Amino acid sequence: MAVTKIYIVYYSLHGHVETMAREILRGANSVPDVEATLWQVPETLPEKILEKVKAVPRPDDVADIRPEQLAEADGFMFGFPSRFGVMASQVMTFFDNTNDLWTTQALAGKPAGIFWSTGFHGGGQELTALTAVTKLAHHGMIFVPLGYTFGKGMYEMGEVKGGSPYGSGTYAADGSREPTELEIQQANYHGKYFAGIAKKLKKRSTV
């Protein structure tokens, strides 16, 4: 059977989205005949600003992605922190540079999912996801939401948990909070669930 290639493309300033991305990677790669790869969105902030905001070092084992490389994949999961209810400007800039792909609709019909990190309850756990979907729609990508397929974990009220039917998520608070075990489990499940959908779609497209 042909391999389904999934690109997990993310931006992470303080490490929260990276943690989620790596767990999504594990989940996706647990699906037979799926090959998931991590990619970083290029940084746009100057070093001086990154030092002031105490950004964590970017990992050496994850390469920066160029917009044209998206055409190589069968499906995508995009991850980002929230800024005023929308994806971080670094990811916005990346999508702004996908004009050639948009012109040719090279990504149309390919599945895409999203995951994120916000500061607090009012930081865009739902709004950030909703505003991100517009990028997928203009490219003709098929948005694959998480729904309530994660089961009882979606209804957890005994602890703070990020995520929604739109995808998996976490809270960073002031930057000191790390993704919880439940959020990690949800991210792993999300990767596995999305990979299964992407695999089915590729199989049908080749029939």
**pLDDT number for residue 5:** 98
**pLDDT number for residue 206:** 58
Rounded to two decimals, the pTM is 0.95
Query: Are residues 66 and 39 in contact, defined by beta-carbon separation less than 8 angstroms?
Result: no
What 8-state DSSP symbol labels residue 120?
Answer: S
Provide CATH code, domain 4-203: 3.40.50.360
Query: Are residues 28 and 34 in contact, defined by beta-carbon separation less than 8 angstroms?
Result: yes
Q: What is the pLDDT along the chain (207 residues), one digit of tens a residue?
A: 689 999 999 999 999 999 999 999 999 999 999 999 999 999 999 999 999 999 999 999 999 999 999 999 999 999 999 988 899 999 999 999 999 999 999 999 999 999 999 988 776 888 899 999 999 999 999 999 999 999 998 988 888 899 999 999 999 988 889 999 999 999 999 999 999 999 999 987 754
**pLDDT number for residue 204:** 78
In the chain, domain spans = 4-203
51: Cβ–Cβ under 8 A, 6 or more apart, which residues?
none
Instruction: Report the 10 Å Cβ neighbour count for 19.
Output: 18
